[in-house]
Structure 1
Amino acid sequence: MSTIEKIQEELDVLLQEEKEHEIILYNDDVNTFDFVIDSLISVCEHTLEQAEQCTILVHYKGKCTVKTGSYKDLEPRCSMLLDLGLSAEIQ
C-alpha cells in the first residue's frame, strides 16, 4: 500500500467519525404545541421561530430534523427530549 493510499484511508476513517448526525422529532398525540416549542428552545437552543416551524412540520409531516451535529453533542440532547416525553431518535 502506498503512502498516499494509507493517508487517504486514515482520512476516510476520520471523516466517518466526524459524520454529522441528526435528531429526528416525531409527532405524537400527547404533547401540546407550546410544550414542544418550549422543549426545543430549552434543549436544542432554538429560537422561538425555529421551534415554531419545527413543531408545525412535526405536526403536519409526522417528523422533522430538529438538530444536527456530532453524536457526542446530540446524545444528551436526545435523552433530554425523551425524558420530557417527546418521541425522538438520532440518525
Structure 2
Amino acid sequence: MADTLTKKKTKEELDKLYKSTLILWNDDFNTFDFVIECLMKYCKHTIEQAEQCSLIVHYKGKCDVKSGSEKELLPIKNILIDCGLSVTIE
C-alpha cells in the first residue's frame, strides 16, 4: 500500500513539474502578424497553429500556446515578454 502511495505521489509531482502551460494574453497594441511571427519563431508553431492561437487570444482573451516543464517554458516566456507580448506560465 505504501509503495502505491509513493508511486502516486511521485507521478503527481512529475506531472506538476512537466505540465506547465505558457499562456498568451490579449492586448490592444500587438498586431496579428507580429504575434504570429513570434509564435512561429519562439514557440516553433506552424503558420496554421500561430494563426489559430492569435484568433483564440483575440476572441477569448487568452490561449495556451505551449506546454512543457517550467524550466523549458521560462526562457520562451522571457523572450516573448521582451517582444512586448503578455504571457504567463501556469
Taking structure 1 as the reference length, the TM-score comes to: 0.87
Larger Rg: 1
**Over aligned residues, Cα RMSD in angstroms?**
1.5
Aligned to 1:41: 40
* In structure 2, C-alpha distance between the alignment counterparts of 1:12 and 1:76, rounded to whole Å: 28
In structure 2, what is the Cα distance between the partners aligned to 1:6 and 1:75? Answer: 33
C-alpha distance in 2, partners of 1:80/1:6? 42
> Residue 18 of structure 1 contacts residue 70 of structure 1 at CA under 8 Å; is this kept in 2?
no
Percent identity between the two aligned chains: 49
Number of matched pairs: 88
Distance in 2 between residues matched to 1:33 and 1:85, nearest whole Å: 13
In structure 1, distance between residues paired with 2:68 and 2:26? 22
| Deviation beyond 4 Å, 4+ runs, structure 1 | none
TM-score (ref. length: structure 2): 0.88
Unaligned regions of 5+ residues in structure 1, if any? none
